[in-house]
Amino acid sequence: MDFKNTEDWLFEITPKNRFFSLNFKEIWQYRDLLMLFVKRDIITVYKQTVLGPLWYLIQPLFTSITFTIIFNNVAGIKTGSVPPFLFNLAGIMVWNYFTACLNGTSDTFKSNAGIFGKVYFPRIITPLSIVISNLVKFGIQFFIFVIFYIFFYFQGVDLGLNPTILFFPILIAFMGILGLGLGMLVSSMVTKYRDLNNLVTFGIQLLMYVSAVMYPMELIKEKLPRLGWIVQYNPLAYVIETSRYMLLNIGNISVLGLVYTMTVTLVVFFIGLLVFNRTEKSFIDTV
């Protein structure tokens, strides 16, 4: 093959990415890097700690206990036939996965500026690895949920399994994609405007209260009919409500709500990807 005098180049470096470009082939070439990043994220978290991966369990357990005492025992929120502790644990587990993904990915550019400034690899590998390593963390938390589920079941609590549980992994996948999309969006904008970081930190705290984590969605419509729309328009609330429906067989499943959630997720993800793509080429000049 004679490509010496043709314009047959292997690749070209140009000022801007095309409007939308996600080079799957390239990401596939770097799949080993993705897995090594996941491994690194998991290994380094518990190196030189006494309790190691137990920290993944302590946080949701204590939060659930606190929520149970405050919201159920003091404030008197009813959770139907399901023990409040299990109700809270399910919500917190799913919520945690979302916040871990968002928090982890939202400073992708800032915390990796050192390495991004030296070598090229598809930048999306980094946020992707965070979403995957958090999935491992979520798995550990899910395991402890199962243990409590069995415990309460043998205590004679009426816990029905819902067949829709088969779709639970898809629901979690959407939660991850939403976290990834938002995270990419934030991380891209943070490179220029640091203010966003503060917004995210306290925004997440506030968001939890309107995401039906510690109360059933029905309750807010009943108690606060005028503000209920905030929760109803929050895609996260549907994910959490639906996962409780799948895992504990309480609450409602709203097909319309889920379609809405998935649409929002995909839109956010593609906008995030778009902005991320535009940023990755020149962020090193502004970070």
Partner 1 sequence: MKDIILKAENISKQYRLGEVGTGTLKHDFNRWWHQIRGKENPYLKIGDTNDRSTKGNSDYVWALQDINFEVERGEVLGIIGKNGAGKSTLLKILSKVTAPTTGSIKSRGRIASLLEVGTGFNGEMTGRENIFLNGAILGMTKKEITSKLDEIIEFSGCGRYIDTPVKRYSSGMTVRLAFAVAAFLEPEILVVDEVLAVGDAEFQKKAIGKMQDISRGEGRTVLFVSHNLAAVKQLCTRGIVLEHGLIKFEGGIDEALDVYNSNLDDLVTEAAWSIDKAPGNLNAKITSVKLMSEDQRFLIENEISVEVEYVNLLENQKINCSISIFDDQNNYVLASPNLERRFLEKGRYKSTCIVPKDFLNKGKYYFTVILVGNNFEIIAQLDKIVSVDLDEEGIHRKDYFGYWGGIVRPYLKWENNKVEL
Q: Provide φ and ψ at 229, rounded to 5°.
A: -60, -30
DSSP secondary structure string for all residues of 222-253: HH-TTTHHHHHT-HHHHHHHHHHHHHH--S--
Nearer Cβ to partner 1, position 7 or 255? 7
| Residue 43 contacts partner 1 per CB under 8 A | yes
| Residue 275 contacts partner 1 per CB under 8 A | no
| Residue 195 contacts partner 1 per CB under 8 A | no
Cα 245 to Cα 145, 167, 241, 248, 250, distances in angstroms: 15, 11, 6, 6, 5
Q: Cα(113)–Cα(257) distance, rounded to whole angstroms?
A: 39
Span from 36-44, 61-69, 144-152, 232-240 in contact with partner 1 (CB under 8 A): 36-44
Cβ at position 163, least distance to partner 1 in Å: 40
Of 10, 50, 74, 206, the one binding partner 1 (CB under 8 A) is 10
User: Any idea what DSSP says for residue 161?
Assistant: P
| Residue 24 contacts partner 1 per CB under 8 A | no
Nearer Cβ to partner 1, position 16 or 223? 16
Q: Which of 117, 118, 105, 125 is nearest to 26 (CA)?
A: 125
Nearer Cβ to partner 1, position 110 or 281? 281
Coil, strand, or helix at residue 49? coil
How many of the other CB atoms lie within 10 Å of CB of 127? 24
Q: Are 256 and 169 in contact (CB under 8 A)?
A: no
Length of the chain: 287
Span from 3-11, 168-176, 196-204, 231-239 in contact with partner 1 (CB under 8 A): 3-11
Subset of 106-125 contacting partner 1 (CB under 8 A): 114-121
User: How big is the site for partner 1, counted in residues (CB under 8 A)?
Assistant: 38
CA angle 119, 48, 55 (to 5 degrees): 100
Nearer Cβ to partner 1, position 3 or 24? 3
Binding mask 119-158 toward partner 1 (x if CB under 8 A, else -) reads: xxx-------------------------------------
Of 22, 27, 30, 221, the one binding partner 1 (CB under 8 A) is 30
| Residue 9 contacts partner 1 per CB under 8 A | yes
How many of the other CB atoms lie within 10 Å of CB of 177? 18
- Give residues in contact with partner 1 (CB under 8 A): 3-5, 8-16, 29-30, 32-33, 36-37, 40, 43-44, 47-48, 114-121, 192-193, 281-282, 284-286
